[in-house]
Structure 1
Amino acid sequence: MKYSEMIRELYSFRRPAGENWNLEKITELCSLLGNPERKFPSLHVTGTNGKGSVVAMGAGILREAGFKVGAYFSPDVDGYEERFQINGKPVSKEKIAEVYERIRPSVLKVRGISFFEITTAIAFQLFADEKVDYAVLETGLGGRLDATNLCDSKVCVITNVSIEHTDLLGKTIEEIAREKAGIIRKKGSAVVTGAEGKALAVIEKRCEEIGCELQVVAKTQKYEGKIGLRGEFQKTNAALAIEAVKALGIKVGEKWIEAGISEAFLPARMETVSEKPLVIMDGTHNPAAMKVLAGEIKRMNEKDGAIERKAIVVFGIMKDKDCEGVLKELAPVAEMIIVTQPKVGRARDAEEVAEKARKVCKKVVKMANSAEAFAYAKKQAGGKGFVLVTGSFYLIGEIRGKKMNIDS
């Protein structure tokens, strides 16, 4: 099967409308495959924000320590193959297609299985085939019912907890924390978290029930070495990654930590893609993360001696996100918001977003085409201005234009 054919087929798989999420289908598929998820130990990462960063840095430290490491990310920005890495390098398209073709007969036996469940099974099979020493896995959503939760987790990380996906995870911090704490399943596994307050209380209770050792990494506990990923908040993510690797029982050398963290990279995480004009792309899509991003932009402006500088923002967001909350946090650093609608079925209507944006920003423009919106933003910014593309990884992927064009 050609890679392009595989991608189109994968995106055709969806759970039947109205069906409740559970682990039955991924469990059935993995059973048909001989349970590849049990053939390697995993470091399992969930949380509202910072999951991917902790996965990238944790995998980097393990790689520098001499282990063969698989890393699994979601979503992708520039291409599906980004989701799967072996020792810091994306798995080839050919290898992914070969694995999918091999597991496809089993996939087709599981009625109503979803894109993410199949993708997770591909990761499990890839890492089993490669005989990795460790896999570092990012949850897709929540934790308890996430397809990654079949893994053989030795260490669980819950980065932080804030309000998100209220239609699926619950309306309160406590309810959402319970869903994320659902990755804590095995007596004797170690748990590392940066959560606070009510969320931390839920996690502590879960650890007590299961019989797991809990280590809390406070916000004040920061790694002060060189970090490949941009942003002050990455110092806390780095501290979480370090403690997670240590919780595996590995004596971590400083050189491994320095190299693993300094070389970590993820696309569209406060990523600078141009200097003139300054263009930053960040897939932030919830209020808590946008508040942090806005703070980083203010800090960046102070450092650059451009305190009054504000961004020409290209913005699009999905239907299931707190659009008003995100825009409220974004507005203080925005000179203009150019609203556009990514070409995916989940995208929120651009006119609806523009109406909400007008309540918090004086200059709002709506443009149907994301590429044209980006070009207009750069024109408005000029050579000395600042463009920020944010609100959705799908929007950023569409503007970058590296992904296959899959119908919504």
Structure 2
Amino acid sequence: MMSGTMPAPSIEAWQEYLGKVNPNVIKLGLERVRHVAAVLGVDTVGEDVRVVTVAGTNGKGSTAAMLAAILENAGYRTGLYTSPHIRTFNERIVYGGVMASDDDLIEAFEAVYTAMDDDHELTFFEFTTLAALYIFRNRLCNVLVLEVGLGGRLDAVNILDADIALIPSIGLDHCQILGSTLKEIAYEKAGIIKDHTVAVVTGELPEVCRNEIGSQAAQHEAALHIVGKNLKIRTVDATHFDFLAPIEILNLEVPALPLINAPLSVAAALLLRLVFKFGISDSDIRAGLRNATLHGRLEKISASPDVLIDVAHNPPAARYLARYLNLNSRPRNAVIGMLKDKDIENTLREYTDLNLFEHYYVCSLPGERGAQGYLLEDKLTALGIPRYRIQTFDTAAQAYRAALAELPVDSELLVTGSFITVEEVLKSIDENQVWHAAGKQEVA
């Protein structure tokens, strides 16, 4: 057991404790977390419990949330683990379709702390991952849908072997940790494929990534399904799409979450039905896609004027977001704050190339990783945006208030660039109840 005193049994005390376990400190490797998991008794799952692990650069949370919604609709008690959170830590751990309560978290945190010792002190993500697994075990979940935090091979989630591995996308991100090439990053993501894994489902990946994932799948004798190859979909119109192969399900509603990730969730549900005999009907799949939500992913938080939040923080995510927005030509402004270790220039380029925004409200983000607003302003001017179309602020909340005050009712405002940007804006709304011309913000 750890030396020192366990925090008091209150969520505030545990938040203070976890706040001192710097979430930006990353120590990849599974030795520590495996040891504590074994002491805690969560290093394995029961024979009747299935595990779906989701890795990738973008789209992990949306893919996981859609699959969990399908499973819940089919009557399976599902443990859904995603990160990071936006409003409250409870968002990370969902079972039975409901966020873990404060009491759930306190019990789990105490159990993990008791299982830990000075030689196996956990990082923030390792600690919280084991808390999630503890809750899922105690709440008798039938299936776990686990989003990888970083990479895959050495991520804490990977202490459990995946029955099905999902990899929505692979791009250049976290290069200082995962490698500077797509092949190196794909190798790390593919680390969630194990001998236990029966199938791997991927999005449309660059060829070098497909080859690396395919090699790992073949090595572990796991079936490989690739969107655009043997997994085929067809867009019907703005509100519906068809899932064509390998099983046909027609006229599915386009989900509120990014459509690009829906085929992986549907494929995983079908694999659970076909391979593991889960009782998942086509109507369960339809309802799950229709009902799935996840904070900060194409989320509309206000109307007249429309305000969207999206946590896109790298070029591939910004590219998808930009193309989605470009389907509907209308006046738009943007609030953007980013971390300085991200590819700021190429992320912003996805918006400037399409000339999506009439005005940019850029802001500084807090902490050592936060980029200063003037850096984003300089990048935007280098990309051809005149300075009179850019305003710079010290905080995301200030940028949002200014943008909202100047936004015409028939316009749209996007808040993006980082989880931190979205979090700060939502906290500002919650605390100050920001008003606009049409009335009080309708916060989801």
Give me the TM-score of the superposition, normalised by structure 2.
0.84
Identity across matched positions, percent:
30
Partner SS for 1:200:
helix
Cα distance between partner residues in 2 of 1:398 and 1:345 = 16
Map of 1:313 onto structure 2: 334
Map of 1:3 onto structure 2: 11
Cα distance between partner residues in 2 of 1:357 and 1:228 = 32
Map of 1:322 onto structure 2: 343
Q: Find out whether 1:240 has 2:264 as its counterpart.
A: yes
Amino acid at match of 2:146: L
8 Å Cα contact 1:318-1:347 kept in structure 2: yes
Which moves more between the two structures, 55-64 or 34-43?
Answer: 34-43
Q: Find out whether 1:61 has 2:76 as its counterpart.
A: no
Q: Find out whether 1:261 has 2:289 as its counterpart.
A: yes
Map of 1:84 onto structure 2: 93
- Offset, 1:116: 0.7
8 Å Cα contact 1:312-1:380 kept in structure 2: no
Structure 1 segments, 4+ long, off by >4 Å, are 402-405
Cα distance between partner residues in 2 of 1:37 and 1:137 = 14
Map of 1:100 onto structure 2: 109
- Offset, 1:23: 1.2
- Offset, 1:221: 2.0
Which moves more between the two structures, 267-276 or 345-354?
Answer: 345-354
When residues 15 and 291 of structure 1 are mapped into structure 2, their CA distance, relative to the original with a 3 A threshold, is closer
Map of 1:353 onto structure 2: 376
When residues 344 and 182 of structure 1 are mapped into structure 2, their CA distance, relative to the original with a 3 A threshold, is same
- Offset, 1:184: 0.4
Instruction: Could you tell me which runs of 5 or more consecutive residues in structure 2 were left unpaired when the two chains were aligned.
Output: 1-8, 235-240, 243-251, 432-444
Cα distance between partner residues in 1 of 2:37 and 2:312 = 32
8 Å Cα contact 1:221-1:236 kept in structure 2: no
- Offset, 1:104: 1.4
Cα distance between partner residues in 1 of 2:41 and 2:430 = 32
When residues 221 and 316 of structure 1 are mapped into structure 2, their CA distance, relative to the original with a 3 A threshold, is same
8 Å Cα contact 2:162-2:197 kept in structure 1: no
8 Å Cα contact 1:143-1:181 kept in structure 2: yes
Instruction: Could you tell me which runs of 5 or more consecutive residues in structure 1 were left unpaired when the two chains were aligned.
Output: none
When residues 395 and 22 of structure 1 are mapped into structure 2, their CA distance, relative to the original with a 3 A threshold, is same
8 Å Cα contact 1:37-1:128 kept in structure 2: no
Cα distance between partner residues in 2 of 1:178 and 1:327 = 28
Map of 1:375 onto structure 2: 401
1:287-298 equivalences under 5 Å are 287-298=315-326
- Offset, 1:343: 2.7
The counterpart of 1:282, out of the listed 281, 306, 310, is: 310
Map of 2:37 onto structure 1: 30
Partner SS for 1:279:
strand
Map of 2:3 onto structure 1: none
When residues 188 and 384 of structure 1 are mapped into structure 2, their CA distance, relative to the original with a 3 A threshold, is closer
Map of 2:233 onto structure 1: 221
Cα distance between partner residues in 2 of 1:68 and 1:77 = 24
Q: Deviations over 1:103-136 (max 9, x none)?
A: 2122354544211111101111010111110010
8 Å Cα contact 2:72-2:96 kept in structure 1: yes
Map of 2:55 onto structure 1: 46
1:324-339 equivalences under 5 Å are 324-331=345-352, 332-339=355-362
Q: What's the RMSD between the two structures over aligned residues?
A: 2.2
Q: Deviations over 1:282-338 (max 9, x none)?
A: 10001011111111111122xxxx3xx2x2211111122111110111222121221
Amino acid at match of 1:202: E
8 Å Cα contact 1:270-1:281 kept in structure 2: yes
Partner SS for 1:334:
coil
Amino acid at match of 1:8: E
1:388-403 equivalences under 5 Å are 388-401=414-427
When residues 11 and 123 of structure 1 are mapped into structure 2, their CA distance, relative to the original with a 3 A threshold, is same
Q: Deviations over 1:47-99 (max 9, x none)?
A: 11111111111111111111111100111111110001112211112211121
Cα distance between partner residues in 2 of 1:404 and 1:293 = 25
1:181-192 equivalences under 5 Å are 181-192=190-201
8 Å Cα contact 2:164-2:197 kept in structure 1: no
When residues 288 and 281 of structure 1 are mapped into structure 2, their CA distance, relative to the original with a 3 A threshold, is same
Q: Deviations over 1:218-238 (max 9, x none)?
A: 2852544124424xxx33322
Which moves more between the two structures, 125-134 or 219-228?
Answer: 219-228
Amino acid at match of 1:28: H
